[in-house]
Amino acid sequence: MQIDINELIELVKSVKPMFLNHTEAEHVTVKGRADFVTQVDIRVQEYMRNELSKRWPDVQFMGEEKDNSDIDFNGAVWILDPVDGTTNLIHDFKDSALSLGLCEQGQVTLGVIYQPFLDEIFWAQKGKGAFCNESDTRKLEDSLVAVGTSPYHRDLTEKNFDAIRCIYEHCVDIRRMGAASVDLAYVACGRVEAYFERNLKPWDF
C-alpha cells in the first residue's frame, strides 16, 4: 500500500495540543490495576480514527480504546495506541507518545512514534530503513537497557524481576520509563541498546 509518509507524519504531529491539555489528562477512568484511560486517550484516538479514515478509507482501524473483534488481519490495519504511557501523562511525567503502525496481511510494514513533549518523531517503513541514529554498541556489558515490568500482570512479578536482575548484572545499567513505543524508539536512535517486556499488546509495539 502506498502511504505518503510526510502526510502521515504531519497528521501524527497535529495531536500535540491534545497531549498538552492538562485538564483532560486529569479526567481518569480506571480500567484495571495500574491501567488507566484519560480524555486525552479518547480524543486522540477518535481524531486519528477519523483522519486516517478520510485519507486511507480502505484501511481498517484497531485502537487500544475500542472493541477490535471485527478486525480482519488478512487486510490492511492501522494499529494505534493513542497515548502510550497514560500513567506518565496523568502524573505529568513527560514521557508519553502516540504510537501508530500499519499492518498488512499480518505483517507490520510502517511505524510512527511521536513524543510531543520533546517534539520528537521516529518512523520506519519496511525496506526503507528507520530514520534515526544507530548505536555502535554491540556488547551487553557496554549497554544501557530499557525494561518493562508488565504492570497489568502482577502474577509475573517474580519472573520479570529475576530477568531484570540477570540483565542488570551484565549491563551498564537499566531504565524503566513506562512507554513501550518510546523505549523501542530509543533503541533505534541509540539512547539505549536494548528493551524487553513481556505480554505487550499489538498497539504497544
Q: What is the mean pLDDT of each run of 10 residues along the chain (205 residues)?
A: 93 97 80 79 96 98 94 97 94 95 96 94 87 65 93 94 96 94 87 92 90
Q: In angstroms, how far is CA 133 from the centroid of its own chain?
A: 19
Q: Which residues contact 25 (CB under 8 A, 6 or more apart)?
A: 38, 39, 40, 89, 90, 92
DSSP codes of every residue in 155-196? GGHHHHHHHHHHHHTTSSEEE--S-HHHHHHHHHTTSSSEEE
Model pLDDT, residue 74:
96
Decide: residue 10, CB within 10 A, 0-12 exposed, 13-18 middle, 19+ buried. exposed
Identify whether the C-beta of residue 15 lies closer than 8 Å to the C-beta of residue 116. Answer: yes
pLDDT value for 133: 42
Do 146 and 183 contact (CB within 8 A), yes or no?
A: yes
pLDDT at residue number 71: 96
Query: What pLDDT, on the 0 to 100 scale, is given for residue 136?
Result: 57
Give the residue carrying C-alpha cell 549497554: 143
